[in-house]
Structure 1
Amino acid sequence: MNEFMEALNDDISKVFLNLDEFASTHNIDGKEYNIIIDEYELNERNKGREKEFIDGIYIRELLIYVSKDEFKRLPSIGRILFLDNVEYLVKDAQEEERVFVITLEKNVH
């Protein structure tokens, strides 16, 4: 691994996903991970979109960031994922610089 990639990996764990900085510990599918839940970025991505699904049922979305090195595999779109024992559907999942960016959704009344 070159110096740049080593520095990037170091920054991901020691700064971006650091519990004293931005991250918090959450349970995903029965395992603890340091993640970031970013509602601001999700709101920016969804500007102008209607949130109500049908007759008072709304879609709640969460955008989470988790280390690729910890999570190992990018979840497939359409997969069920449990975040803190709450069931969500994976709406989108991408890798950005060794961090998985995962959009989750669930219906709420």
Structure 2
Amino acid sequence: MNKTFKDFILEDLDVFFNVDEMADEHELDGQNLDLIVVDSSLEDLRGFGRDQLDASQEIFKVYKTVYVKSSDFYIPKVDSELILDGQGYYVEEAKDQNGVIKIVLSAHES
């Protein structure tokens, strides 16, 4: 049987989500998983300019982008709450991209 390009990508996920490569172990909604977690700013996520952000943000939020294998987790609903490493976050965006779930989380900074 011939493998497709998609088959090769799915096999490579084990490399990316290996703690010796790019991933780290985190707790996500009570599960210990190998995740890739990136701290993000609203400017990075939405393409807003710094002046727009300074004028519009009255409450400072922190953002994290979480990547997890779709075989390890589910696609959460937007506006639902997830617990990442003991801290609550709200789901801003979630989608499956070829076997990887990308979840954008936000929380008010205290």
**What TM-score bracket applies, with the shorter chain setting the length?**
0.7 to 0.9
Code of the residue aligned with 1:11 in structure 2: it is D
Aligned to 1:24: 24
Aligned to 1:105: 106
1:9 aligned to 2:10?
Answer: yes
Check whether the contact 2:37–2:66 (CA below 8 A) recurs between aligned residues. Answer: yes
Aligned to 2:89: 88
Equivalent position SS for 1:12: helix
Aligned positions, number: 105
- Aligned-residue identity in percent: 27
Query: What's the TM-score, normalizing by structure 2?
Result: 0.82
Code of the residue aligned with 1:35 in structure 2: it is L
Q: Which of 28, 53, 57 pairs up with 1:53?
A: 57
Equivalent position SS for 1:66: strand
User: C-alpha distance in 2, partners of 1:8/1:23?
Assistant: 17
Shift of 1:13: 1.3
Root-mean-square deviation (CA), in Å?
Answer: 2.4
Map Cα deviations across residues 25-58 of structure 1 (whole Å, 9 max, x no partner): 100111111110123697533442516732xx31
Query: What's the TM-score, normalizing by structure 1?
Result: 0.83
